[in-house]
Chain A
Amino acid sequence: MSAPRPLTITGGQLVLPGKSPVPGSLRCEGGLIRAVGGAIAGPDDLVIDAKGALVVPGLVDLGVFAIDKPAFQFGGITRAALMPDQGVVLDKPSSVRFAAQSGKPDLWVHPLAAATRDLAGSEIAELALMRDAGAKAVATGRRWIGDSGTMHRLLSYAAMLGLVVITHAEDAGLTGGAVATAGEMATRLGLPSAPAEAEALAIARDLALAELTGARIHFRQVTTAKGLALVRAAKARGIKVTAGVTPAHFMLSDTAIGDFRTFTRLSPPLRSEADRQAVLAALSDGTIDVISSGHDPRGPEDKRLPFADAEPGMAGAETLLPLTLGLVRDGVIDLPRAFELLAANPAALLGVKAGRIEEGLEADMALIDPAKPWVVDSDMMAATAGNTPFDKQGVEGRVLALFKGGVLIAD
């Protein structure tokens, strides 16, 4: 394969780490960003005029359940960390190696190694072999590891291997078969529910074990005030902890489940309005490090069912960027922080040289119009299924062009 032509983007507003957007150009060669700011195009360069669009890092989506290229390209996602909960569980080097190759060249898939065999929560999987086969981190999957002894051994082993452990924070003993958060809405609807404290319980234990072992731990979704308070305090104590969330938990509270709409059946379930406000505060004060899509497209066979019988999950790749830009518009975060949450922090967590517009990093970039309005429509999505809880909602922000490794892949 011949090397791609060098690329120069001119006339853009560059979104650089920690700064307000600056007008400028950038040049990429050999798949990397070579010059940022006043870059001069070479004679053979493909030159693209951004026409004032924002030039932002390609999104690094930490924790998707499906590889869904059309949805990712629509959403400006150039790298996706794939959850191990696949048809063939990512608990062996062979399945990890296969997954790592599955999106190239225009999408990089970073497999997350299953923490335990078959994600059953009991026997630790071959983490070192999977790391060397391309796994960028370890994940417990959709579930929490209930056995504290197993979690202790897992964290100490992952710490030795230098792998972050990404965990699901819900105490399964408390949640049982719950599909909603205990409260007025679940009571009215007669849905099996569990107290929101299930999250804080899980986080408290895992933080204690992370502190004990020195492991790096990432809570994929922290959605309650009490859970976030624990993370905030642990960070202050110097524990190596990070936290993520998806737009559902900063956009919606459990009133959204009122019509038994299964597109709002999520895991963890939607929380109270007070918890939603706590998530916004945690995005604002830096307690939350990552916003991811949780992309989990589900067809009618999984969703056209009674609420409690439906599978959890939402198709989130296409709405990740505009809903995060909504936080910027609302003054919760500023623009550079949005791309820390969407790209720089998840890239750092995975240990990949991407996620920022910076010389020497992978030339994964998007041109975006942050103000372009559009309406989310579950019947018109690029994703393999349209199970979005934001159906018919107006949003702003659209990807105009997407580059992976300095090559234009979508516009």
Chain B
Amino acid sequence: MTSPNLDAAGRYPAGSAAFPHRSLTGLAGLAPWEILFLLDEAEQWVELNRQPHKRNDRLAGLTIINAFFENSTRTLLSFEIAGKRLGADVVNMHAAQSSVKKGETLIDTAMTLNAMHADAIVIRHQSSGAVQLIADKVDCPVLNAGDGQHEHPTQGLLDALTIRHAKGAEFAGMRVTICGDILHSRVARSNIHCLTTLGAEVRVCAPPALMPADIEALKVHPFHDFDAALVGSDVVMMLRLQQERMSGQFIPSPREYRHLYGLTLDRLAKAKGDALVMHPGPMNRGVEIDSNVADLAGRSAITTQVEMGVAIRMACLDVLTRRTRGLEGWA
């Protein structure tokens, strides 16, 4: 798939055509060059973040609200750092401290944030579709930081960036296996959309109760047998068991889960010899991933994922506010 008006480098269209969306609510439906554009934009921030002076003030004067209706530590921190490194005024709203607890509807809360003239709103919410609902009602760009079991687009992007750093820019022919609670995972969905769009072969592995219906329609290959799924994998992405999202019993016990789906050193040996190990965190060590795998030098990219997360979020905040800032070609 190519765009009719590629830029001089031949990668994506010029100006706002490279990313023509006002908000980033998901990766489903994005064109390959739109994803590549965001990844490329993030590279400068990977560099900056490795410098002693980690500051670029291009978002100075802008207000970014992180509205988190669901508890989060790492994602909230990552977005806060991203905004601050770009010079924006970043404020965090925790649902636990807000009038949401007093019965205010989600839309009323959104309209309140809107009336405060935020220049971007970053939202996490426990219900699928909640971020889209808000994006339709407010005047500024909205960034989805995770909505229910739907999407977590910046996670998908940061995982792709991590893979690109470790494995090179060619996603075609790459085999990525995602194992764990696919059913309840927005991370899995965003990764599936992102990686299949970029041309990678994606395998998903889970027990039947944790595998969504008709997952093949998302152009992935489903497996129940983890050992079989691992064969020939370039990347092994483990997901956390989301016990807080489960209603009813989905697995008999954590140790039985580990028996079938835990990533041990022995299991990892079934993948390619240089296979990359990833996990979006937080990890349940000793359940879906053993400590000696999670900490395996040269193979585990788990801390790199966190690093790439800040860069990706800086890129997203920069790109989505270009129209507001009146950048040439974006106004």
Which positions in A face B, CB cutoff 8 Å?
176-177, 182-184, 186-193, 195, 259-260, 300-301, 304-309
Q: Residue of B at shortest CB range from A193?
A: B213
Q: Which residues of B contact A186 (CB under 8 A)?
A: 212-213
CB <8 Å contact, B128 and A189:
yes
Contact yes or no, B128 A190, CB < 8 A = yes
Task: Report chain B residues within 8 Å CB of A192.
Answer: 149, 247
- For this complex, 8 residue pairs linking A to B, each with C-beta atoms less than 8 Å apart, are A177-B247, A189-B150, A190-B128, A190-B148, A191-B128, A259-B132, A305-B107, A306-B148
Task: Name which of B80-88, B94-102, B214-222, B301-309 contacts chain A.
Answer: B214-222
| CB closest residue in chain A, given B213 | A182
A304 to B218, CA, bound (A): 29
Is there contact, CB below 8 Å, between A183 and B247? no
Question: Is B125 part of the contact surface with A, judged by Cβ < 8 Å?
Answer: yes
Complex-state Cα separation, A374 to B128, whole angstroms: 34
Q: By CB atoms of chain B within 10 A, which of A176, A186, A188, A309 has the most?
A: A188
Q: Is B5 an interface residue (CB 8 A)?
A: no
Contact pattern, B 105-126, Cβ under 8 Å of A = 1, otherwise 0: 1110000000000000000010
Q: Bound state CA distance, A186 and B217, in angstroms?
A: 11
A189-B129, A190-B186, A191-B149 given as contacts; is B247 within 8 A of A176 (CB)? yes
Chain A residues lying within 8 Å of B133, measured Cβ to Cβ, are 260, 304-306
B148 / chain A contacts, CB cutoff of 8 Å: 190-191, 306, 308
1/0 contact string of B212-241 vs chain A (CB within 8 Å): 111101100000000000000000000000
CA distance A177 to B248 in the complex (A): 10
Complex: how many Å from CA A188 to CA B28? 9
Residues of A contacting B147 with CB < 8 Å?
A: 190, 306
B-side interface residues, number (CB < 8 Å): 26
**Cβ of A308 and Cβ of B128 under 8 Å apart?**
yes
Instruction: Evaluate contact between B189 and A190: CB separation under 8 angstroms.
Output: yes
Partner of B130, one of A184, A187, A188, A306: A306
A169 shortest CB reach to chain B, Å:
20
Given contacts A187-B214, A190-B189, A195-B213, contact A309 B150 (CB under 8 A): no
B residues in contact with A177, CB < 8 Å: 247
**Chain B residue with minimal CB distance to A173?**
B248
The 5 residue pairs across chains A and B that have the minimum distance between CB atoms = A260-B129, A190-B149, A306-B127, A190-B150, A182-B213
Are A187 and B127 touching (Cβ within 8 A)?
no
Any A CB within 8 A of the CB of B151: yes
Q: Of the candidates A188, A259, A300, A307, which one forms a contact with B127 in the assembled complex, judged by CB atoms under 8 Å apart?
A: A307
Complex-state Cα separation, A186 to B130, whole angstroms? 15
Instruction: Assess the B128–A307 pair: CB atoms within 8 A.
Output: yes
* Measured CA separation A186–B214 after assembly (Å): 9
B106 touching A305, Cβ below 8 Å: yes
- Tell me whether chain A's interface is mostly helix, strand or loop, or mixed: loop
Q: How far is the CB of B204 from chain A (nearest CB, A)?
A: 11
- Enumerate chain B residues within 8 angstroms of A191, measured Cβ to Cβ: 128-129, 148-150
Interface residues of B in 128-143 (CB under 8 A from A): 128-130, 132-133
In the complex, what distance in Å separates the CA atom of A204 from the CA atom of B126? Answer: 36
Write out the residue numbers on chain A whose beta carbons fall within 8 Å of the beta carbon of B107.
300, 304-305
Name the CB-closest residue of A to B149: A190
Q: How far is the CA of A177 from the CA of B246 in the complex (A)?
A: 11
* Bound-state Cα–Cα, A183 to B216, Å: 10
A309 to B105, CA, bound (A): 11
Which residues of the other chain, B, contact A306 by a CB distance below 8 angstroms?
106, 125, 127-130, 133, 147-148
Residues on A with C-beta less than 8 A from B132 are 259-260
Provide the bound-state CA to CA distance between A300 and B108, in Å: 11
With A and B bound together, what is the CA distance between A304 and B28 in angstroms?
A: 23
Give the CA-CA distance A397 to B147 in the complex, in Å.
Answer: 41
- Inter-chain contact A190/B214, CB cutoff 8 Å: no
In the complex, A243→B125 CA distance in Å? 39
Please report the C-alpha to C-alpha distance between residue A73 and residue B266 in the assembled complex, in whole angstroms: 71
Minimum distance in angstroms from B153 CB to a CB of chain A: 13
A187 to B148, CA, bound (A): 12
Of the candidates A176, A184, A304, A306, the one having the most CB atoms from chain B within 10 angstroms of its own CB is A306
Expressed in whole angstroms, the minimum distance between the Cβ of A195 and any Cβ of chain B is 7
With both beta carbons as reference points, the residue of chain B lying nearest to A306 in the complex is identified as B127
List residues of chain A with CB within 8 A of the CB of B150.
189-191
Residue of B nearest to A195 (CB): B213
B105 near A176 with CB under 8 A, answer no
Chain A positions within 8 Å of B105 at CB level: 301, 304-305
Which residue of A176, A192, A193 has the most chain B CB atoms within 10 A of its CB atom? A192
**Chain B contacts of A260 at CB under 8 A?**
128-129, 132-133
Residue of B nearest to A272 (CB): B214
Complex interface: chain A residues within 8 A of B247 (CB):
176-177, 192
Residue of B nearest to A176 (CB): B247
Q: Which residue of A lies closest to B193 (CB)?
A: A188
In the complex, A191→B150 CA distance in Å? 7
Chain B residues with CB below 8 A from A308, complex form: 127-129, 148
Chain B contacts for A195, CB-based, 8 A: 213
Alpha-carbon distance between A187 and B28 when the two chains are bound, in angstroms: 12
Shortest distance between the CB of A192 and any CB in chain B (Å): 8
0/1 per residue, B176-215, Cβ < 8 Å to A? 0000000000100100000000000000000000001111
Bound-state CA distance A82–B133 (Å) is: 33
Other A-B pairs beyond A190-B150, A191-B150, 11, CB < 8 Å? A188-B28, A190-B147, A190-B149, A190-B151, A190-B186, A192-B247, A301-B105, A306-B147, A306-B148, A307-B129, A309-B130
CA distance A226 to B215 in the complex (A): 22
**CA distance in complex: A184, B151 (Å):** 15
Instruction: Considering the complex, give the chain B residue whose CB is closest to the CB of A179.
Output: B128
Chain A residues near B130: list those with CB within 8 A. 306, 309
| Shortest beta-carbon distance from A79 to chain B in Å | 36
CA distance A303 to B40 in the complex (A): 40
Question: Which one, B151, B186, B217, B248, contacts A187 given CB within 8 A?
Answer: B217
In the complex where A190-B150, A191-B149, A301-B105 touch, is A184 in contact with B214 (Cβ < 8 A)?
A: yes
Nearest CB of chain A from residue B214's CB, rounded to whole Å: 4
How many Å lie between the Cα of A19 and that of B237 in the bound state?
Answer: 66
